[in-house]
């Protein structure tokens, strides 16, 4: 990340939490990497991929990459020793998009609507536009990962805005997977990846080193 200290602690810890969940999952590998979409005040969509660095390497400022150890339980299936943060998107979250429309226009209300293919009510048109924008950003990064690595990334989602977006994201992601001719793999929900990340770092004893690495 450039500069590394601008990668927020919440984004870093969420990625560590995602990797911890992946390590504990039954899946054996993720050659296309892992994506985490956080739908909060801001929406962030970040990607981590397997990296060939040594397991004790936390930060690599010279190559503009930040890696984290893979915390593996005894007897676990072989997985990458390290992961690299590749970057990601930051955009207004769904609630911020909604309130910005209400503040910046004279006639658009700040109220909830229903997502529809062809909305015929203003509230539904707003809800549908916001859901389409959020889902489109996620699918865009998924497609970037597929093109870059030749394999689709696994998708994780979290954040308070997810429930209102879930149906649209699931639909667009499934459509993208079908169009690409890859296996259908729905997004995996993580209720508290920041806390999961803190717990994983405490268990592995790398908390201080990781924090120092991000701050370089």
Task: Give the active site residue among 10, 51, 70, 124.
Answer: 10
Residues 6+ apart with CB under 8 A from 113: 119, 121, 122, 123, 124, 125, 126, 127, 128
Residue 137 is given by DSSP the state H
Strand 59-60, strand 154-158: pairing: unpaired
Residue 10 falls in the annotated catalytic set: yes
Residue bearing tokens 């149906």: 167
Give bridge partners of residue 155 from the DSSP assignment: 35
- HEC profile of 16-57: HHHHHHHHHCCCCCCCCCEEEEEECCEEEEEEEEEECCCCCC
Sheet holding 65-69, edge to edge: 59-60, 65-69, 82-92, 42-51, 34-39, 154-158, 188-189
Taking Cα atoms as reference points, which of 36, 85, 79, 23 lies closest to residue 194?
36
Alpha-carbon gap, residue 137 to 172, rounded angstroms: 10
Residues involved in catalysis: 10
């Amino acid at each position: 990340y450039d500069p590394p200290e601008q990668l927020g602690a919440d984004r870093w810890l969420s990625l560590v939490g995602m990797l911890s969940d992946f390590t504990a999952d039954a899946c054996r590998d993720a050659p296309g990497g892992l994506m985490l979409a956080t739908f909060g005040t801001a929406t962030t969509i970040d990607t981590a991929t397997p990296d060939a660095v040594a397991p004790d390497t936390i930060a690599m400022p010279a190559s503009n990459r930040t890696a984290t150890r893979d915390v593996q339980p005894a007897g676990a299936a072989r997985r990458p020793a390290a992961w690299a943060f590749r970057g990601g998107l930051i955009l207004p979250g769904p609630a911020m998009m909604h309130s910005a429309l209400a503040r910046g226009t004279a006639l658009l209300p700040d109220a909830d609507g229903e997502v529809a293919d062809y909305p015929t009510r203003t509230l539904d048109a707003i809800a549908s536009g916001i859901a389409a924008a959020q889902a489109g950003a996620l699918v865009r990064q998924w497609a970037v990962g597929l093109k870059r690595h030749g394999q689709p990334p696994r998708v994780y989602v979290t954040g308070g805005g997810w429930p209102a977006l879930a149906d649209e994201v699931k639909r667009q992601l499934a459509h993208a997977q079908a169009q690409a001719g890859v296996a259908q793999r729905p997004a995996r929900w993580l209720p508290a990846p920041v806390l999961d990340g803190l717990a994983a770092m405490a268990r592995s004893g790398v908390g201080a080193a990781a924090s120092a690495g991000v701050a370089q």
